[in-house]
Structure 1
Amino acid sequence: MVRRIATQVHKQASRLLRAEYIKERPAWFQAVLDHPPLPLPPRAPPARTGDDLPKKLSSARPQDPKVFSIVYAEDELRRQFFRDHPFEAFRPTTLTEGGAIRDVHPIRGNQWTRLRQRGRNPSPEDCILFALNLHKHHYLSINQAYLTSVAQFRSLRSEHHIATLVGAKEAEMHGAQFGWTQTEIIFNKETQALETWQKKHEADLTAAANRKRWRAIVERNGPISEFTKGREYVRLWKEGVRPDYSPVLTSTSPTEDAVQEPMIDFMGTGSQRS
């Protein structure tokens, strides 16, 4: 049955009984007929005063409500920092937090006056948080706080870089041996890849030569004659001279070369047999 309001339930049941869709009267049918439910009061429109009435009716579509954008100061600082230091994004970092999230550093707020207080090798996030801290707790403008934080960040990074180079030199002087750097490993992989290309080219040349192993290679030791377009061959054929195409199976000595009969070259003049 379609869902209806209380005042229409018994009416719908009566229509179903007349259509013999329901064979027996429900137990509640006679009771509802004797005591029908009260009708619902009509819905009256809310009272309006003169100020509530619209001044001008318009069929135009109402304007959509504007949503204000959520802007954080650290996002602007982070965007400007990586625009000025793009290579900082290539430094390796870890996204694993471990068993728990790192605790908040004890030095913060008004106590945090220098970036060095968070360590001698600060990260980009430390620089951004320090600039935000200067802006909030030391009442510097956002631009001045950013310039101060970046200047200290660059100084600490320079000190760390120089200390690392000096430490590596001292370790090498004491006999330490360092492995390949990541740059050298990549260069070696590129060299190996180029060598595979050279080997593949040589293999292709060898395969091409093997495919041509049935090609006849004629070695001419005599002088190169002029091409006669087959007229010399026809002349010898008319004279009854038969060519000999059998290969030389044995090598001859220099004394035998003097008594050998000349082999006729059908492409030009006669030449001595090799």
Structure 2
Amino acid sequence: MLCKAAYKTTIEIYIFLHSHLVVLPMTKVQQGTGEYLPRKEDCLAAARKFGIYAKKIRGDIPLVGSPERSAFRTAVQNEKNELYILESVFVHGIQRKEQIACSLDLLANHQLQGIVPYLPSPDGGHLLHDEHGYWLMSAYVPGEPLKRPDYAFERWRGRAFADFLLSLKKKAALLSIKSNGPFFSIASYATHIMEDLKQNDPEFLPWFLPFFQQLETSFFPGHDVLPRWFCHGDFHPMNMIWGKDTIKAVIDWEFSGIKPE
């Protein structure tokens, strides 16, 4: 069982990091990694192959989530002024993206609230392949901005967190969602991060070492033997689209899979 001290330490790290991060406005170029910046015509053509007759690229709309998950992404607008997200997928990540899309389909089909499934591609899957690469498309969900660090102390968000996690566990238990890769250990991952920090940025090591040592003694020993379920894998407030009093969508499922609950 996770002891109160380890839980308190985890929350302290979370609040510290999120209250000290600086959010920069996202530009068209920042919505991708710079590896591939497709032409406007390529984006509109890809959207139309999904059956969305896009008329405009909306690079002025900031997109929440992690831009590095895709080669490029942008909002597009159709003739009815409906908004969608179009993303270009790295070639090395197409299999993983299709696995994630299938898992989201299963959850959405079983009425789990907060799931935004990808649109089907013409071949019946989710990834569209054309001469410009691989594409995914989903509905755009508008949301409310988070005020840092105040949101971390708003109780209703904690209740919304718990409600979603309980619903996810219940729905996933009924579905045939399998592990999409090797078992992921957060303890091993954290240890790897500390090793990288020691090698590349040793001046910051004293800041994080006390927190890591607390987790190492109170949390890590029991973590990898906890019961395993299908989990989001990166569940935190910045990976959600918030309404005024609810979670409208949970995004960035790249780390999802069978993990310790």
TM range (shorter): under 0.3
> Quick one: higher RCO (CA 8 Å, sep 6+), 1 or 2?
2
TM-score by length of 1: 0.16
More strand by share: 2
Which has the greater radius of gyration? 1
When the two structures are superposed, what TM-score results if normalisation uses the length of structure 2? 0.16
